[in-house]
Amino acid sequence: MKVVGKQVPHDSAIGHVTGKALFVDDLAFTQNELIVEFIASPVAHGKIKSFNSVELAQLDGIAGVFTFADIPGHNLYGPVIQDERFLAEEIVEYVGQPIAVIAGESRKAIRHAKKKLRLEIEKLTPVFTIDEALAAKQFIGVPRVFKQGDFEKAWSTAEHTLAGTFVCGGQEQFYLESQAAIAWPGEHGEIHVHSSSQNPTEIQEVVAEALGLGFHEVVCVCKRMGGAFGGKETQAVIPAVMAALVATKTKRPARIAYTKDDDMRSTGKRHPYKIHYKTAFTTEGKLTGLNLEIYSNGGAGADLSTAILERTLFHADNAYFIPNLFFKGTICKTNFPPNTAFRGFGGPQGMANIENVMQEIALVLKKDALEIRRLNCYDHADRNLTPYGQVVRNHLLPEILDQLAETSEYRRRLQEVEQFNRQSTTHLRGLALTPMKFGISFTTKFLNQGNALVNVYKDGTVQVSTGGTEMGQGLNTKIRQLVADEFAISYDDVRIMITSTEKNNNTPPTAASAGTDLNGMAALNACRKIRKNLTEFASSYLLPPDSGLDPSPENIIFENGTIYDDRSKSRFPENKITFRELVKLAFMERISLGERGFYGTPEIDFNRETEKGEPFFYYTTGASVSEVLIDRFTGQLKLERTDLLMDIGETINPGIDKGQIIGGFIQGVGWVTNEDLRYSDKGELLSYSPTTYKIPNIQDLPEIFNVDTIENPQHKINVRRSKAVGEPPLMLCLSVWIAVKHALSCVRNDAIPRLNLPATAEEILRRITELDDDSKDAAGNSSVDESEVSLVSLPILSAEKK
């Protein structure tokens, strides 16, 4: 009957494919319900001069137009730094920023009203790029610095040095269900909100603060989300406040559901980064020092940018030991929507940069990049201290690299790829193997807690409520498996209830890949309280008076839906009872069958004054090897083969975990290849729909795709010895981007190719064109031996041998 470790189908799988799984905007309209939309800023930066809100509110079918002046509580909010407004007051700071909320009887009435809009805004000078923000000295928060050893000494005494700049773009979360919320007013002024949110507690608190209510007067629930990927961790609050404001003002239910276009225009995305790096290394290829100046584009408000930058610093080492380092991170303020959480939470940007550095070291030394990566990889006994002072324990990073190199036949294929590039005049191939180490825990200590409510009913069935939210990742399915096994009952006898702040208070967001870790352990702790009560009762009930044995709870066994005393199993085999029978008897004896469970992640602490400590409970690790084919004339990229290998501990649900590994990787492939956010010179998002923004489709899957896991007997912590698989697989995508860089590097043996991320066809072709021009001297003669390399040439970054 045990189900943990088995491939149980996702509990909403049938509902998802048949359309029976209800999302927020699928819920039936209630009587007198209003439609809610918002009026957005058409400019990136400006001063509001006039707005005909009163006139619009008088139009037929319009129930109200509300501005910041109508918010009864606070108009200022922010998860870390309170610097963002629900509704703009005097100044607008990005295209798409909400200025007013408009409520109507129908969408037709709202569309008609918007045509009557007269909004006068005096334009101010906007700032869009990191370089512009640096020049204007516009920053968010304060710079963060990680130091270890003596970088300056390592640099001055290095056998080799290398310097350059890494640039990467943002990424749209592109959840299929846009931001949505419904608010119902209560009879005593309270508000009930159903939100598509990863963070119901934050919705509860922020709605209460905006409306001037106590937290106890707001309930937020979330049945499921149609995707989130971090984009609904904080940014679901604005639509929730809009709906709640209308419900409060009109005393009518109110519903808001962004269109995909409005969602993409108005919400934050993965942070673009610019990183200047200087690295020192030996002739062997061992990294001796690394200096990073890290700049992120935070947008117009802080949102989670400070925490995201922190995780970038935590992951700027990826899987490599760096004895001497100096990392400085700065957030730039610009006139875009406040950028926010996205799967990986700043880790991918830092890890992409160090992989770029490793590839370039290999090019300078003319060595296989895997040799450089393996040489610098974290070890077990020593060379295992991170830049923030945490020892990397119980990992298999070297073993993963070695096993994947062997199973993927990396070395043989590398020779074939480079031979192909020496001969082909129309195409390039690239091959790269990159490791991944991702820390699991919220890096803010108080967020590492969860609670659960478990109710056992008299028929032996169980309801479980946690603060975790289901966004398709299978959290509810895993918790059902854990609870079923804890009571040794059928999986079908367990149900996960709608997430509600009424049942689970003060919960963290479902994020940081910690949903199962926190909520699963909290649920088990609640189950164990109930099981302890049942065990003590059963120890007396199951023994015959003439058994000669004393009651002993330690000897009570829960197995396959039955409970027995293992000491009497052979002598009194009839003395056993079903779980359902035991529950009925326990109820008659007034034994508690409902308990709360709590869990706080142990052994984590980080001191932000010293920038040292242990912010992570453990690490999820892995590696990937990818092979790409590039058309020299169009830049078109094809991913031909990928092999993934991960250490995810002992899996709770192999099917769901494999789905997360594949899904995370493919989403990452989108980030490093085709997902290119384009803006006009006025700050308007041009790629705001599926027609202009290309997420991966079935044709972007590699033709050969191998996914495997590795056993790690050293990992003995966490719920059922599992490991998080939500975010870590995304970073496996870096092998694809590095494979493109490897392909470009094969065209000349005297240059290091420059490549921005994403490596779109346009970006690849741009580099090919630049380098083709660069390979000719003023007379038009080739400066390289074209019999050995292709006609592609690339600018050389600074590489110096001392």
* Secondary structure, 3-state, 466-500: ECCCCCCCCHHHHHHHHHHHHHCCCHHHEEECCEE
Ordered domains of the chain (ranges, CATH) = 29-125+179-257 (3.90.1170.50), 144-154+163-170+269-388+396-443+608-792 (3.30.365.10), 449-600 (3.30.365.10)
Q: Cβ distance 369 to 360 under 8 Å?
A: no
Q: What pLDDT is stored for residue 776 in this prediction? A: 53
Residue 320 reports pLDDT greater than 80: yes
Q: Which residue type occupies 311? A: R
Q: Which DSSP state fits 794? A: -
- From 727, 762, 763, 788, active-site residue: 727
Q: Residue 78 phi/psi, 5° resolution? A: 165, 135
pLDDT at 769: 82
Strands 612-614 and 273-281, how do they pair? Answer: unpaired
As a whole-number percent, the residues of the chain with pLDDT over 70 amount to 95
- What pLDDT is stored for residue 572 in this prediction? 66
3-state secondary structure of 184: strand
The greatest distance separating any two alpha carbons of the chain, rounded to the nearest whole angstrom, comes to 107
Helices (H), 158-259: 200-211, 237-250
Q: What DSSP element (H or E) covers 163?
A: strand 160-168
CA 202 to chain centre: 18
Give the mean pLDDT of 473-487.
Answer: 98
Q: CB of 141 within 8 A of CB of 81?
A: yes
Q: Quick check: is 727 catalytic? A: yes
Q: Is 273's pLDDT higher than 80? A: yes
pLDDT tens digit sequence for 152-184: 999 999 999 999 999 999 999 999 999 999 999
Question: Where residue 568 falls among pLDDT bands split at 50, 70, 90?
Answer: confident
Burial 695-711 (b: 16+ CB within 10 A, else e): bbeeebebeeeebebbe
Side chain identity, residue 448: N
Average pLDDT of the chain, as a whole number? 94
Is 763 a residue whose pLDDT tops 70?
yes
Q: Residue 191 pairs with which residues in a beta bridge?
A: 185, 218
Average pLDDT over residues 97-105: 98
DSSP calls for 738-762: HHHHHHHHTT-SS------BS--HH
For 266-271, what is the mean pLDDT? 98
- Distance between CA atoms of 200 and 499, rounded to whole angstroms? 8
Cβ neighbours for 111, distance < 8 A, ≥ 6 positions apart: none
Predicted pLDDT at 570: 64
Distance of CA 601 to the CA centre of its chain: 19
**How far apart, in whole angstroms, are the C-alpha atoms of residue 581 and residue 251?**
49
Report d(CA 678, CA 464) in Å as an integer. Answer: 44
Closest CA to 535 of 463, 492, 591, 599: 591
pLDDT for 751 = 83
For the CA atoms of 263, 265, 270, 274, what is the dihedral angle to 10 degrees? 180
Assess whether pLDDT exceeds 50 at residue 300: yes
* Mean pLDDT along residues 706-710: 98
Q: For 640-665, what is the mean pLDDT? A: 98
Q: How far is CA 686 from CA 65, 123, 127, 235, 261, in A?
A: 28, 20, 17, 21, 10
For residues 601, 605, 611 and 617, what is the CA-based torsion angle, rounded to 10 degrees? -40
Q: What is the pLDDT of residue 797?
A: 41
Q: What is the mean pLDDT of residues 20-24?
A: 97
On the 0-12 / 13-18 / 19+ scale of CB atoms within 10 A, 529 is: middle
646 DSSP β-pair partners:
622, 709
pLDDT for residue 798: 41
- pLDDT of residue 210 exceeding 70: yes
Helix axes 761-774, 734-745, angle to 10 degrees: 20
Residue 540 binned pLDDT confidence (cut-offs 50, 70, 90): confident
Query: pLDDT band at 541, cuts 50/70/90?
Result: confident
C-alpha span between 672 and 628 (Å, rounded): 13
The pLDDT assigned to 781 comes to 33
Instruction: Give the whole-angstrom CA distance, residue 438 versus residue 676.
Output: 25
758 preceded by a cis bond (ω within 30 of 0): yes
Alpha-carbon span 72 to 77, nearest angstrom: 14
Mean pLDDT value across residues 393-399: 98
Task: Provide the whole-model pTM.
Answer: 0.95
Report the alpha-carbon distance of residue 451 to residue 513 in Å, rounded.
17
Q: Which residues contact 752 (CB under 8 A, 6 or more apart)?
A: 164, 360, 363, 364, 745, 794, 796, 797, 799
Cβ-proximal residues to 154 (8 Å cutoff; 6+ apart), any chain: 280, 288, 289, 323, 324
From residue 703, give the alpha-carbon distance in Å to each of 390, 417, 626, 732, 756.
39, 17, 11, 17, 25
- For residue 125, pLDDT beyond 90: yes
Burial of 774 from C-beta contacts in 10 A (0-12 / 13-18 / 19+):
middle
Q: What is the pLDDT of residue 17?
A: 93
Window from 120-134, 452-466, 502-516, 560-574 with minimum mean pLDDT: 560-574
How far apart, in whole angstroms, are the C-alpha atoms of residue 451 and residue 689?
38
> 3-class DSSP state for residue 15?
helix
Banded pLDDT at 761 (limits 50, 70, 90): very high
Letter for the amino acid at 16? H
**Residue 782: what pLDDT?**
29
- pLDDT mean over 636-661: 98
> What are the tens digits of pLDDT across the range 364-391?
999 999 999 999 999 998 999 999 999 9
Q: Of 413, 421, 360, 432, which is closest to residue 792 (Cα–Cα)?
A: 421
Helix (H, G, I), strand (E, B) or coil at 612: strand
- Report pLDDT for 50: 97
Tell me which residue of 624, 162, 151, 155 sits closest to 365, measured CA to CA: 162
CA distance 534 to 518: 25
Q: Which helix (H) or strand (E) holds 139?
A: strand 139-148
DSSP conformation class of 627: E
User: Binning pLDDT at 50, 70 and 90, where does residue 551 land?
Assistant: confident
- Going by their DSSP bridges, the two strands 119-123 and 46-51 should be labelled as antiparallel
Whether 78 contacts 302, CB under 8 Å: yes
Write the burial class of residue 149 (CB in 10 Å: 0-12 exposed, 13-18 middle, 19+ buried). Answer: middle
**How many Cβ atoms from other residues are within 10 Å of residue 212's Cβ?**
13
Q: Is the per-residue pLDDT at 799 higher than 50?
A: no
Q: pLDDT-based confidence at 791, cuts 50/70/90?
A: very low
End-to-end alpha carbon distance in the chain: 66
- Kindly tell me if the per-residue pLDDT of 758 is higher than 80: yes
pLDDT surpasses 70 at 796: no
Instruction: Report residue 779's pLDDT band, with 50, 70 and 90 as the boundaries.
Output: very low
3-state helix, strand, coil in the chain (%, to 5): 30, 25, 40
